[in-house]
């Protein structure tokens, strides 16, 4: 492919992204998992306009997501199977999110963000991404499914890569529905866990035999006295000042010899530099945070009363970064 053709394909990438988002929203891969179907059958099952659905199917067939058989029916390919909602590593939740009008409009504000340094979502919508979703439960549900899509490959890798067995207790700060904490506790039966997030986020989470559930605001305070505080995909959502505030909350609460464990992508260590660099732009336009280099995490930690420890690879895009209490001089 020459440079012009390659650039054209990159420029037109948004078209593929939108088509995939529609396919995920309609559940086409879930339907085709049951076997090949005609456009008429798929249109009836999805409540869509058959001739127009055929146009979408043709386009997705052209990029290898589906294949058209000699009898006119469409079938699932290995690539298209990743858009099923019921498979490990499913991309369906993320595909749905990136096609939402609110998300697309935020990315359309990228140039303004580059010019001003300001968050695109807030400039475009007049409110933060957090407030926007809190007022729109359907948007929050789409976002939650997207985060589940992204987190699934990472959860077991984090539990395997880092030795949580040396702790007696761990708090998953901003832990959502508790999937990461559950994976860690399953691997380390002697460990107790605390799931901590906003009250509405944990309202329907049932405590377990070794798990307590606490609602609150991590800018104000987090549960006290535990050995380890896990911040997975939290700090990259926020500018530096807010990150330092979150870290200071953990510093005040933790046991004297405790540790904070930051699970994030790291720009200068990234196994997939393209993915991490564009994740950084996504942080700019959506929540208003950023991906960081390891030294930048070190600066945040110093400001919050920590010193930088190891950055433990997990075999995925993320690392487990140790934050150790700084020695007083």
d(CA 240, CA 236): 9
Sequence-separated (6 or more) residues with CB below 8 Å from residue 195: 172, 175, 178, 181, 202, 205, 211, 212, 213, 214
**What values do phi and psi take at 264, rounded to 5?**
-150, 165
CB 162 within 8 A of CB 261: yes
CA 267-17-180 angle, to 5 degrees, is 50
**E-state strands within 157-304:** 169-173, 192-197, 211-215, 228-232, 259-265
d(CA 265, CA 275): 10
* Residue whose pair of structure tokens reads 């009836």 in the numeric block: 44
Per DSSP, 35 falls in state -
CB 148 within 8 A of CB 93: yes
CB atoms within 10 A of CB 53: 20
d(CA 326, CA 184): 26
d(CA 75, CA 60): 11
CA 110-22-137 angle, to 5 degrees, is 75
Structure tokens of 63? Answer: 């990029």
Identified catalytic residue from 18, 49, 125, 236? 236
Does 179 participate in catalysis according to the annotation? no
Q: How far apart are the first and last CA of the chain?
A: 60
What is the bridge-based pairing of β-strands 74-76 and 66-68? Answer: antiparallel
Catalytic residues: 236
């Amino acid at each position: 492919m020459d440079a012009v053709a390659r650039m054209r394909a990159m420029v037109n990438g948004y078209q593929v992204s939108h088509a995939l988002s529609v396919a995920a929203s309609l559940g086409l891969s879930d339907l085709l998992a049951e076997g090949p179907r005609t456009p008429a059958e798929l249109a009836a099952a999805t409540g869509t306009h058959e001739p127009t659905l055929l146009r979408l199917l043709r386009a997705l067939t052209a990029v290898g997501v589906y294949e058209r058989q000699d009898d006119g029916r469409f079938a699932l390919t290995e690539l298209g199977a990743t858009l099923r909602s019921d498979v490990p590593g499913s991309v369906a939740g993320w595909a749905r999110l990136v096609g939402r009008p609110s998300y697309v409009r935020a990315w359309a504000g990228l140039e303004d963000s580059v010019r001003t340094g300001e968050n695109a979502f807030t400039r475009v919508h007049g409110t933060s991404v957090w407030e926007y979703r809190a007022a729109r439960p359907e948007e929050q549900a789409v976002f939650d499914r997207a985060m589940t899509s992204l987190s699934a490959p990472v959860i077991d890798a984090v539990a395997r890569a880092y030795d949580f067995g040396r702790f007696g207790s761990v708090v998953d700060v901003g832990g959502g529905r508790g999937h990461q904490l559950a994976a860690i506790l399953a691997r380390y039966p002697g460990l107790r866990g605390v799931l901590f997030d906003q009250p509405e986020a944990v309202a329907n989470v049932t405590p377990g035999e070794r798990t307590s559930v606490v609602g609150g605001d991590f800018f104000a305070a987090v549960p006290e006295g535990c050995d380890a505080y896990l911040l997975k995909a939290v700090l990259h959502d926020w500018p530096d000042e807010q990150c330092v505030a979150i870290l200071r909350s953990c510093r005040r609460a933790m046991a004297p010899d405790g540790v904070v464990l930051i699970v994030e992508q790291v720009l200068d260590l990234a196994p997939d530099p393209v993915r991490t660099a564009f994740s950084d732009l996504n942080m700019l336009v959506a929540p208003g945070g950023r991906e960081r280099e390891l030294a930048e995490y070190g600066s945040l930690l110093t400001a919050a009363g920590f010193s930088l420890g190891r950055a433990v690879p997990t075999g995925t895009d993320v690392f487990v970064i140790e934050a150790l209490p700084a020695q007083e001089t």
